[in-house]
Chain A
Amino acid sequence: MITTARLRRAVRRETIGVDVRAALNLVGALFKYLSLAYLFPAAIALGYDESPWPFLASAAIVALVGAGLEAVTQGKEHVGAREGFLTVALIWLFAASAGALPYLFSGDAQLASPVDAYFEGMSGFTTTGATIVTEIETLSHSMLMWRQFTQWLGGMGIIVLALAVLPRLRVGGRQLFEQEAPGPEIEPLTSSIRDTARRLWLLYIAITALCALALSVVAWTGLDGAMSTFDALAHAFSSVPTGGFSTRTRSFEDFGAASQWIVAVVMILGGANFALLYMAFVRGRLRMLGRDEELRVYLALLCLGSLVLALELVSEGEFAAGEEAIRHGVFQVVSIMTTSGFASADFALWSPLALVGLVGLMFIGGSAGSTAGAIKVVRHVVIGKILRRELDQTVHPEIVSAVRFNRRPVDERTVRAVIAFVLLYIGLFAVGALLLTIDAAVADVRVTPFEAIAAAASTLGNVGPAVGFAGPMGSYEQFSDWSKIVMIALMWLGRLEIIPVIVLFTRSYWRA
């Protein structure tokens, strides 16, 4: 008798501890608002005398699915801390599909396959910038702008956007914010998380506007014959979020020196901590910039990388010593390290040393609280300090010391989380590269191990271009569908910084 009771209790304990309906309800509620995003490309379509129907149809589907999901799961409006992980993970999968729908409806043969369209959608929202399209110029204006626009929407984060504008997330939004925000910790600008989200988005919009204006001025004054107002806006949409989509197949190669310098500066801003930028430039506390440890290391790495690459380019005879070598060195290092993925030249053809260096930079990433992906500078700094402490403790076993960042002690939980993150990141990268290599062999696609490594690093870090056929001027089209699915997963994991997604695959998450 007792055994049966115990057994029954044990069985009951196995029930699901996550309120899936509540999570789906919130996902539906947020998803339906994404239909509003299609109004912008639809307007562009009308302006260029193109068909707005792919966008209007997508809008209808997104609105219906979202509202439907919300209606089906009605009565479950409360999302707790547990459901947060699921909500955030799901909303990004849904967003990528919202990005993909217009490609399917456009009738363009390059993105006709659902996997290809979904890859492009995920690459857009996660600001990766890896593309399937081989001849980008053949896309219509509205479709080009939609690609750029998805990067802009995804850059600051969908949850952050929702927090800023939707009343629904007034309660419990902080937790969702933390799942989505890049970096180990978030620093709220104000006491209200909603207000913080608003300010971050306003700053984001302001930088985008400035970038678009600067590029437009270059276009209007004739400094850069290749740049147009359309290109200016399009590239502002993809450089501030460190995205990397371009309106040209040859990425940024066709554009002039002035445009390349502007975009390099904007990418540096995009890869910096937005909370810090806000404090410095909006609140006028410029001294905070000098005191920020992460920013110092971030800029130092960019300078060092640029210098080394410029020297390498000159010594390999790619460019003559001078402005050109420096510009390409800076542009490429900034573009890769901030995980943007623009190219001012086809770096896939550069020397092995330059290539290995650039692939290495893919693991560094930008700052915490930026739009950049990858591991992020702050984690590298913290890992360095942890290693130094470990060495110290080997010699002095009794020593007690705190790992400090920006002069503040980092608590041991965060220290462990940083180590866990980096291990997971490297692990996923390795698994991803392995899967790509195996699949390439199975599907008989010619992929060298280094190309597989670069593609895995690039998609997991939300960078964009890899080497080989998936280089900066190429596309990911040649990969098999399975490889593309692997990379879609890598982009998704990379954007959400792994942990919120990977907990969904643990038993303890689902158990009551």
Chain B
Amino acid sequence: MRIVIVGAGQVGSTVVEALHDEHELAVIDLDAARLSALSYRYDLATIEGNGASRGTLLEAGIRNADLLIACTSRDEPNIIAAVFTRRISPETRTVVRTTNVEYLEAWRERELDVDLIVSPELETAYAISRIIGVPAARQTDVFAEGQVQIVEFDVEPGTGAAALIGQPLKDARVPDDSRVASIIRGGRMIVPRGTESVQVGDRVIVIGSPKAAREWSSLMARDRKRVDDVVVFGGGRIGVTVARVLLGQGIRVRLIESDRDRARSVAEELPQARVFHATGVDPEFLERERIGHARAGIFAMRDDPKNHYAATLAKLHGVEFTIAVVHDAVSMDVFERAGVDVAINPRVVTAEELVRFAHDPRTQQVAMLEGDRYEVLDITVRPDSKLVNRPFSELPMTGSVVGAIVRNGQAFFPHRGDMMMPGDRVIVFTESARAQEVERAL
């Protein structure tokens, strides 16, 4: 695949690192020093110039490119690069990084002619909400704009799962809008037929609505209670987006921001959040507001060392679970070594999201489970697929499971009588080895 990348900053270089092996890359940036640093490390073409100019795009070979990834730190040049690309070369697919929620909304309403928009704030927020949303989960990921969630659990004795254990799946009371996509027993995958049952020591993979995922979580969790009270440190764009996503899940959010005006505008933006004007590192304040009672602390201030200090202090005050947003890649190890539970780098999260698009034209998203043994694909069904317009009960049983169908933007969880229609997006669980076969069949 020929890929043009606009922007060689932190996101851009992460993208290059992920793609340089398999694809032919051309990187555009205004800064010659960044470009030469990249070209010493990887084999790629570099073009010094403005990505939002047609001349530069043509020079980078946009006419023959399969994909444009516009990931400078500024929204408008990214969008303009995509708009020009659509004009010059309609076949080239475009992926744009933007921080502005308004562009994201416009794109969802199909008012922006771009194939994919990725927002670092939103990706970070989703990643954080995934981690704290289902505490018992080993791993979790969301699909179809958050309508579908896949979760991997360990079945342990003495949990709410006891009601399920040993019951044939067709009789077991599993939460609505969800299904068991796979059971992994002793390292082997078992196709979850109706007669199969869940055993202690199994690992189950569930596909369902976010609500169902939470119900599963409370079934599977041993003693860890659901995280329902979170303190966000820092009211920047990431902090606010995280707060908004968590509030949307019914979690109580308190947000601490040290700038008065900023705190005020956050309070206006998020009516349900409790916003404090404080530094977050004042022990007296933490004590008075009982910050230690929160089940999780999210540190999204601009400054890595400050996040680090605040996270450590919060732990001292009794916050059980700390998640830090890390801006500098080298801080990751420092954070995790120093006892912060999870460190998330928005640029890496963004780059992963951008890279996903480079896989297959019809595959919107991929998630890997158990290392890379299993994959969950979000794929659009071809009209001429042999599998469409036939009820699931008539389809041959293979190891792959269609966990959810997205039709007209609305996700639902199919039963035996439902069928796939041309143009549906389906969320499929499969063994990685069979992923290509699945893509071909659909």
Within the complex, the shortest CB–CB distance from A21 to chain B, in Å, comes to 43
Within the complex, the shortest CB–CB distance from A409 to chain B, in Å, comes to 4
- The answer to whether B268 and A402 touch across the interface, beta carbons within 8 angstroms, is yes
* The one of A400, A404, A409 that contacts B260, using a Cβ cutoff of 8 Å: A400
Interface residues of B in 244-284 (CB under 8 A from A): 257, 260, 263-264, 266-268, 271, 274-278
* The one of A396, A399, A400, A407 that contacts B271, using a Cβ cutoff of 8 Å: A407
- The answer to whether B268 and A399 touch across the interface, beta carbons within 8 angstroms, is no
Q: What residues of B have a CB within 8 angstroms of the CB of A407 in the complex?
A: 271
Can you list, as one digit per residue, whether each of B269-313 has a CB less than 8 Å from chain A (1) or not (0)? Answer: 001001111100000010011000000000000000000000000
Within the complex, the shortest CB–CB distance from B413 to chain A, in Å, comes to 32
Can you list, as one digit per residue, whether each of B388-427 has a CB less than 8 Å from chain A (1) or not (0)? Answer: 0000000000000000000000000000000000000000
Q: What residues of B have a CB within 8 angstroms of the CB of A400 in the complex?
A: 257, 260, 263-264, 266-267, 275-277
- The answer to whether A398 and B277 touch across the interface, beta carbons within 8 angstroms, is yes
- The answer to whether A399 and B274 touch across the interface, beta carbons within 8 angstroms, is yes
Bound: A399/B288 CA distance, A:
12
User: Residue of A at shortest CB range from B273?
Assistant: A401
Bound: A400/B262 CA distance, A:
10
Q: What residues of B have a CB within 8 angstroms of the CB of A404 in the complex?
A: 271
Within the complex, the shortest CB–CB distance from B60 to chain A, in Å, comes to 45
Q: What residues of A have a CB within 8 angstroms of the CB of B278 in the complex?
A: 398
Interface residues of B in 208-267 (CB under 8 A from A): 257, 260, 263-264, 266-267
User: Residue of B at shortest CB range from A410?
Assistant: B268
User: Residue of A at shortest CB range from B285?
Assistant: A398
Q: Which residues of B contact A (CB under 8 A)?
A: 257, 260, 263-264, 266-268, 271, 274-278, 285, 288-289
- The answer to whether A401 and B275 touch across the interface, beta carbons within 8 angstroms, is yes
Pick the most buried of A398, A401, A402, A404: most chain B CB atoms within 10 A of its CB: A398
Q: Give 28 A-B contacts (CB < 8 Å), ordered by A residue.
A: A396-B274, A396-B276, A396-B289, A398-B276, A398-B277, A398-B278, A398-B285, A398-B289, A399-B274, A399-B276, A399-B277, A400-B257, A400-B260, A400-B263, A400-B264, A400-B266, A400-B267, A400-B275, A400-B276, A400-B277, A401-B267, A401-B274, A402-B264, A402-B267, A402-B268, A402-B271, A404-B271, A409-B267
Bound: A401/B263 CA distance, A:
8
Bound: A399/B255 CA distance, A:
10
Shortest 5 CB-CB contacts between residues of A and residues of B: A409-B268, A398-B276, A400-B263, A398-B278, A402-B268
Bound: A401/B274 CA distance, A:
7
Within the complex, the shortest CB–CB distance from A393 to chain B, in Å, comes to 11
Bound: A404/B278 CA distance, A:
22
Within the complex, the shortest CB–CB distance from A390 to chain B, in Å, comes to 15
Pick the most buried of A400, A401, A407, A409: most chain B CB atoms within 10 A of its CB: A400
Interface residues of A in 371-407 (CB under 8 A from B): 396, 398-402, 404, 407
Q: What residues of B have a CB within 8 angstroms of the CB of A398 in the complex?
A: 276-278, 285, 289
Bound: A399/B274 CA distance, A:
7
User: Residue of B at shortest CB range from A409?
Assistant: B268
Bound: A299/B435 CA distance, A:
62
Bound: A404/B274 CA distance, A:
14
Bound: A406/B268 CA distance, A:
13
Q: Which residues of A contact B (CB under 8 A)?
A: 396, 398-402, 404, 407, 409
User: Residue of A at shortest CB range from B255?
Assistant: A400
Q: What residues of B have a CB within 8 angstroms of the CB of A396 in the complex?
A: 274, 276, 288-289
Question: Apart from A396-B274, A409-B267, A409-B268, what 6 extra A-B contacts exist at CB < 8 Å?
Answer: A398-B285, A400-B257, A401-B267, A401-B274, A402-B268, A404-B271
Pick the most buried of A401, A404, A407: most chain B CB atoms within 10 A of its CB: A401
User: Residue of A at shortest CB range from B275?
Assistant: A400
Bound: A401/B260 CA distance, A:
11
Bound: A396/B263 CA distance, A:
15
Bound: A404/B273 CA distance, A:
13
Within the complex, the shortest CB–CB distance from A400 to chain B, in Å, comes to 4
Q: What residues of A have a CB within 8 angstroms of the CB of B285 in the complex?
A: 398
Bound: A270/B276 CA distance, A:
42
Bound: A401/B268 CA distance, A:
7
Q: What residues of A have a CB within 8 angstroms of the CB of B277 in the complex?
A: 398-400
Bound: A400/B261 CA distance, A:
10
Q: What residues of B have a CB within 8 angstroms of the CB of A401 in the complex?
A: 267, 274-275
Bound: A399/B275 CA distance, A:
6
Bound: A318/B289 CA distance, A:
55
Bound: A167/B94 CA distance, A:
54
Within the complex, the shortest CB–CB distance from B278 to chain A, in Å, comes to 4
Bound: A399/B266 CA distance, A:
12
Bound: A400/B271 CA distance, A:
11
User: Residue of A at shortest CB range from B268?
Assistant: A409
Within the complex, the shortest CB–CB distance from B310 to chain A, in Å, comes to 15
Q: What residues of A have a CB within 8 angstroms of the CB of B263 in the complex?
A: 400
Q: What residues of B have a CB within 8 angstroms of the CB of A409 in the complex?
A: 267-268
User: Residue of A at shortest CB range from B278?
Assistant: A398
Bound: A319/B275 CA distance, A:
54
Within the complex, the shortest CB–CB distance from A385 to chain B, in Å, comes to 12
Bound: A407/B268 CA distance, A:
10
Bound: A404/B268 CA distance, A:
8
Bound: A208/B356 CA distance, A:
65
Bound: A400/B276 CA distance, A:
5
Q: What residues of A have a CB within 8 angstroms of the CB of B271 in the complex?
A: 402, 404, 407
Within the complex, the shortest CB–CB distance from A396 to chain B, in Å, comes to 6
Q: What residues of A have a CB within 8 angstroms of the CB of B274 in the complex?
A: 396, 399, 401
Bound: A402/B264 CA distance, A:
7
Bound: A396/B277 CA distance, A:
10
Bound: A402/B257 CA distance, A:
15
Q: What residues of B have a CB within 8 angstroms of the CB of A402 in the complex?
A: 264, 267-268, 271
Bound: A400/B273 CA distance, A:
10
Pick the most buried of A396, A404, A407: most chain B CB atoms within 10 A of its CB: A396
Bound: A311/B289 CA distance, A:
47
Bound: A401/B275 CA distance, A:
7
Q: What residues of A have a CB within 8 angstroms of the CB of B276 in the complex?
A: 396, 398-400
Q: What residues of A have a CB within 8 angstroms of the CB of B266 in the complex?
A: 400
Within the complex, the shortest CB–CB distance from A375 to chain B, in Å, comes to 25
Within the complex, the shortest CB–CB distance from A263 to chain B, in Å, comes to 40
Within the complex, the shortest CB–CB distance from B252 to chain A, in Å, comes to 14
User: Residue of B at shortest CB range from A411?
Assistant: B268
Q: What residues of A have a CB within 8 angstroms of the CB of B275 in the complex?
A: 399-401
Q: What residues of A have a CB within 8 angstroms of the CB of B264 in the complex?
A: 400, 402
Q: What residues of A have a CB within 8 angstroms of the CB of B260 in the complex?
A: 400
Within the complex, the shortest CB–CB distance from B277 to chain A, in Å, comes to 5
User: Residue of B at shortest CB range from A412?
Assistant: B264
Bound: A398/B267 CA distance, A:
12
User: Residue of A at shortest CB range from B279?
Assistant: A398
Within the complex, the shortest CB–CB distance from A46 to chain B, in Å, comes to 60
User: Residue of B at shortest CB range from A396?
Assistant: B289
Within the complex, the shortest CB–CB distance from B233 to chain A, in Å, comes to 13
User: Residue of A at shortest CB range from B263?
Assistant: A400
User: Residue of B at shortest CB range from A404?
Assistant: B271
